[in-house]
Amino acid sequence: MLLTKKMKYDLPQLSMAGTKINLVEEIKLLGLIIDRRLTFKAHITAQCKKAADIYKQLARAAKVTWGLNGEIVRTIYIAVVEPIMTYAASVWSEAVELEMNKKQLFSLQRGFAQKICKAYRTVSLTSALALSGLLPLDLRIQEAANLYKSKKLLSTDYLPPGKELERKVGYLDLPHPSTLTSTNYEFFENTNPLHTGSQIFTDGSKIEGKVGAALSWWEDGKEKLSETFGLHPSCTVFQSELYALHRATRLVSSSTDNKVNILSDSRSSLDLLRNPKLSHPLARSIKENIARVVCEGREIKMFWLRAHIGTAGNERADELAKTAALQSTFHDYDKVPLSYVRKKIREESHHHKQLLKKQQHISCWIVEKKEKLD
């Protein structure tokens, strides 16, 4: 296959061991059909056919007044059809701007949208999309492409100025599988207080678009010290909870206490630490701090407690975290989560969707005026 932008060119004559090699118009590579003009029409046609076969089976069961529920059809569309259509979208997403490709995509999506909202076949695509709450398929493909580029750091359009994306721990940076350990935790009940070791309560908070974390160190029923930390507004509550645990374990690592109990009301954070595999950078730092303490012959235990049940240390940590979120001017942690990038990409898609609606309304208004004048 020959790829060129030249209008006039001579076809190359290729041969191998005396056998002529013929040029082809398209090739299939890892499930992606690449044509000579890079229109990707053949690929879109093949993917639409694959998804249409699913639609035909749905059409037998999902009728207007009976059959599959609309939400079930929506789940099938989002979980099956969209992944089929967005496969390798970062390669061919620009091709959806071609009208011939848009027609194929919209023809496929119209059938699914009608099944979701239980509409008749005469309903237009625009109305069916509005009733079903689906995003136009061309915008959904652009979303998948932009998300891939953001993950691979090929684009920073959706990141705050000067900030970096929070990335998973690379395979080369992971410890050897034989050294992987899980960090277990226990359930702490306020009716059975701990009698040995110091206690560190951690918490995170996001309030009024601001994020903060805090820890409170208690000994003999009294607060010994407390620390507050500010996080970038793009961070999540989950990140703030993990960062609080990270600072708590680092504090224990630099101390000389033989036994310290760390208590958190974030079960999701503790469940992440229980997983032997390390993927989150903060989780990796926490487990490294714990391993350092254990190697020194000291003990560090993790506990989960219910929030807002009157535990003094937990209420104090919660108050400090909210104060840190509202008053902190310095960001101790500013890695942007992938969820923030997804949110920005979706906001851009909805903005384009609203612009298309306005253009359609204007076009309809112009047509009506012309008909009246005629």
Q: What is the DSSP string of 274-342?
A: HSSS--SHHHHHHHHHHHHHHHTT-EEEEEE--SSSS-HHHHHHHHHHHHHHHH--S-SB-PBPHHHHH
CA 195 to chain centre: 42
Higher confidence at residue 64 or residue 327?
327
Considering the entire predicted model, what is its pTM?
0.85
DSSP result, 149-209: HHHTTS--TTSPTT--B--PPPGGGSPPGGG-----EEE--TTS---SSEEEEEEEEEETT
Q: What is the pLDDT of residue 363?
A: 67
Instruction: Give pLDDT tens digits for 5-28.
Output: 788 888 888 888 888 888 888 999
Integer angstrom CA distances of residue 323 from 30, 83, 213, 319, 327:
52, 43, 9, 6, 6
Domains and CATH numbers, the chain: 34-151 (no CATH), 179-335 (3.30.420.10)
In tens, the pLDDT along 116-158 reads 988 888 888 888 998 898 999 999 999 999 999 999 988 899 9
Tell me the three state secondary structure of residue 357.
helix
The average pLDDT across 275-296 equals 90
Burial of 221 per CB tally in 10 Å (0-12, 13-18, 19+): exposed
> Model confidence over 43-79: pLDDT tens digits?
999 999 999 888 888 777 766 667 778 888 899 899 9
Q: Is 31 left (phi over 0), alpha (psi -120 to 50) or beta?
A: left
